[in-house]
């Protein structure tokens, strides 16, 4: 099987090269992202492998189909960057449904603790021997209420962590997990009652901008908001308005609504044209990281293993347990 990898970084090659050899795959790595301009490079391949920063729309799927590409391997759990509906009956789309839920949940708590106790600011100060504590005061999370939106594997890991901090935990999910030791409630009630809100749900037409002007208005004053899922769960302009009005105690974002072309790249010598992102960076109670919640050794290894297993199952006509799309859901 010939596989073309898009958006390859050195850490991708570290895991995928030896596994590819073990499976006997012919893998070619590109640093270029997958988009309408670069999809032509896939014409001689059996499958392509893409990451969350890539785009595979309907016209690209049609091109791949016409050039005998059989499938799309996702190095991610989310698949909102691929038009899976257009792929039905043409290409198989295979994802990595779970790699290390703990990696993302632990990072969500890292963002929360950091933006609360301002440890990133303290680090910079003390390196200059500025030992002043002014502006570094946080709050205790013990006995505070954490609202977890999405109770899949990552959400469940976050629930366990919050309980370890002695927090009362509430959860919202349209598909509650049976026998999960958590109090489920309606989304609006959770938003109203939580001191901390952490997002752990996929991006769909129903969840896009679930955090908006209306839901922000329902939140407690000085609420903490953390997003390690998908940027478009939050309406950015509404978030900025809330920050200006001092609604938030702290905001931790590992994802951003318009992160394509910025995240995962070094733009330190450039003038950023995204005014909303630049504005967010000016708030002292906002911490933004570059979609790195998944970035642990364990998670990267698991992503590589499952991705290669998906390719092997596709090549050998085995059951495609990680297929996404309407047809896969009916099986």
pLDDT score of 206 more than 80: yes
Burial of 283 (0-12, 13-18, 19+ CB in 10 A): middle
d(CA 331, CA 328): 5
- pLDDT surpasses 80 at 326: no
Mean pLDDT of 8-14: 95
For residue 17, pLDDT over 50 is answered with yes
Residue 330 pLDDT grade (very low, low, confident, very high; cuts 50, 70, 90): very low
Instruction: Report whether pLDDT(271) > 70.
Output: yes
Q: Is the pLDDT of residue 76 over 50?
A: yes
CA distance 52 to 40: 19
Annotated active-site residue 259? The verdict is yes
pLDDT at 328: 44
291 noted as active-site residue: yes
Residue 327: pLDDT over 60: no
Q: Of 118, 230, 235, 257, which one is the catalytic site residue?
A: 230
Cβ–Cβ under 8 Å, residues 73 and 50: yes
Mean pLDDT, rounded, for 12-36: 96
160 token code pair: 């366990």
% of the chain residues with pLDDT over 70:
98
pTM above 0.85, yes or no: yes
Which of 81, 95, 118, 291 is flagged as catalytic?
Answer: 291
Delineate the domains of the chain, giving CATH numbers in brackets: 2-99+297-330 (3.40.50.720), 101-288 (3.40.50.720)
207 alpha carbon, distance to own chain's centre: 14
Higher confidence at residue 265 or residue 287? 287
Query: What value does the mean pLDDT take over residues 74-82?
Result: 93
The yes-or-no verdict on residue 65 having pLDDT over 50 is: yes
Question: Confidence band (pLDDT; 50, 70, 90) for 261?
Answer: confident
Is the confidence at residue 30, as pLDDT, over 60?
Answer: yes
């Amino acid at each position: 099987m010939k596989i073309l990898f898009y958006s390859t970084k050195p850490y991708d090659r570290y895991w995928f090269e030896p596994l590819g050899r073990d499976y006997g795959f012919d893998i070619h790595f590109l640093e270029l992202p997958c988009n309408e301009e670069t999809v032509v490079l896939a014409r001689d391949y059996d499958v392509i492998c893409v990451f969350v920063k890539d785009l595979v729309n309907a016209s690209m799927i049609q091109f791949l189909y016409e050039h005998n590409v059989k499938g799309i391997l996702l190095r991610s759990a989310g698949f909102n960057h691929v038009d899976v509906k257009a792929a039905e009956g043409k290409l198989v789309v295979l994802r990595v449904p779970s790699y290390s839920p703990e990696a993302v949940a632990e990072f969500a708590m890292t963002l929360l603790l950091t933006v609360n106790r301002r440890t990133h600011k303290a680090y910079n100060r003390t390196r200059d021997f500025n030992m002043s504590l002014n502006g570094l005061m946080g709050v205790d999370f013990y006995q505070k209420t954490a609202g977890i939106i999405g109770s899949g594997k990552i959400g469940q890991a976050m629930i366990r962590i919050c309980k370890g901090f002695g927090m009362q935990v509430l959860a919202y999910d349209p598909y509650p997990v049976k026998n999960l030791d958590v109090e489920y409630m309606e989304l609006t009630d959770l938003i109203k009652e939580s001191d901390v809100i952490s997002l752990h749900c996929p991006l769909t037409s129903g969840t896009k901008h679930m955090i908006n002007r209306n839901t922000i208005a329902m939140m407690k004053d000085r609420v903490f908001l953390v997003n390690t899922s998908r940027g478009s769960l939050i309406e950015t302009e509404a978030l900025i308005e809330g920050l200006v009005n001092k609604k938030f105690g702290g905001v931790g974002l590992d994802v951003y609504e318009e992160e394509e072309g910025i995240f995962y790249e070094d733009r330190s010598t450039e003038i950023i044209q995204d005014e909303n992102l630049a504005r967010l960076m000016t708030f002292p109670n906002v911490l933004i990281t570059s979609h790195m919640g998944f970035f642990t050794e364990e998670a990267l290894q698991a992503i590589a293993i499952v991705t290669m297993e998906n390719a092997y199952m596709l090549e050998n006509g085995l059951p495609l347990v990680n297929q996404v799309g309407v047809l896969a859901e009916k099986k």
